[in-house]
Amino acid sequence: MTKTIVVALGSENKAKIRATQLGLESIFKKNNTDNNNAVDFKVIGCSVPSGIRDQPLSDQETMQGAINRAKKALENTPEAEFGIGMEGGIHHITEPVDKWFECGWIVVVNRNNLDELGIASTARFELPKKVMHEILVNHKELAEIMDDLTNKKDIRSNEGAMGVFTNSLLHRDLIYSHALVFAFSRFTTPSSFWDDQLLSKNPTADK
Model pLDDT, residue 199: 83
Least confident of 34-38, 103-107, 184-188: 34-38
- Residue (of 20, 7, 25, 10) closest to 81 by Cα position: 7
Q: How many CB atoms lie within 10 A of CB 133?
A: 12
Domain presence at residue 70? yes
What pLDDT, on the 0 to 100 scale, is given for residue 8? 98
Number of domains, the chain:
1
Q: What is the mean pLDDT of residues 155-179?
A: 95
Give me the CATH number covering residue 185: 3.90.950.10
Residue at 189: amino acid letter:
T
Residue 39 belongs to a domain: yes
Bridging pattern class, strands 99-110 and 113-121:
antiparallel
Q: What percent of the chain has pLDDT over 70?
A: 93
Q: Supply the pLDDT for residue 201.
A: 73
Would residue 163 count as lying in a domain? no
Alpha helices in 77-202 (DSSP H): 129-136, 142-150, 160-164, 172-188
Amino acid (one-letter) located at 137:
V
User: What is the rounded distance in angstroms from the CA atom of residue 17 to the CA atom of residue 148?
Assistant: 24
**Contact between 3 and 38 (Cβ < 8 Å):** yes
Q: What is the mean pLDDT of residues 140-161?
A: 94
pLDDT higher than 90, residue 187: yes
pLDDT reported for residue 167: 95
Q: How many CB atoms lie within 10 A of CB 5?
A: 15
pTM: 0.90
In a domain, 201, yes or no: no
pLDDT at 33 over 70: no
pLDDT score of 133 more than 90: yes
Count the Cβ atoms, other than its own, within 10 Å of residue 181: 17
Q: Report yes or no on 149 lying in a domain.
A: no
Task: Give the model's pLDDT for residue 34.
Answer: 58
Domain range holding 31? 3-92+104-125+170-190
Given a cut of 70, whether residue 32 has pLDDT beyond it is: no
What is the per-residue pLDDT for 38? 77
Q: State whether residue 88 is helix, strand or coil.
A: strand
* Average pLDDT over every residue of 101-113: 97
- Per residue in 139-149, pLDDT tens? 999 999 999 99
* Confidence tier at 35 by pLDDT (50, 70, 90): low
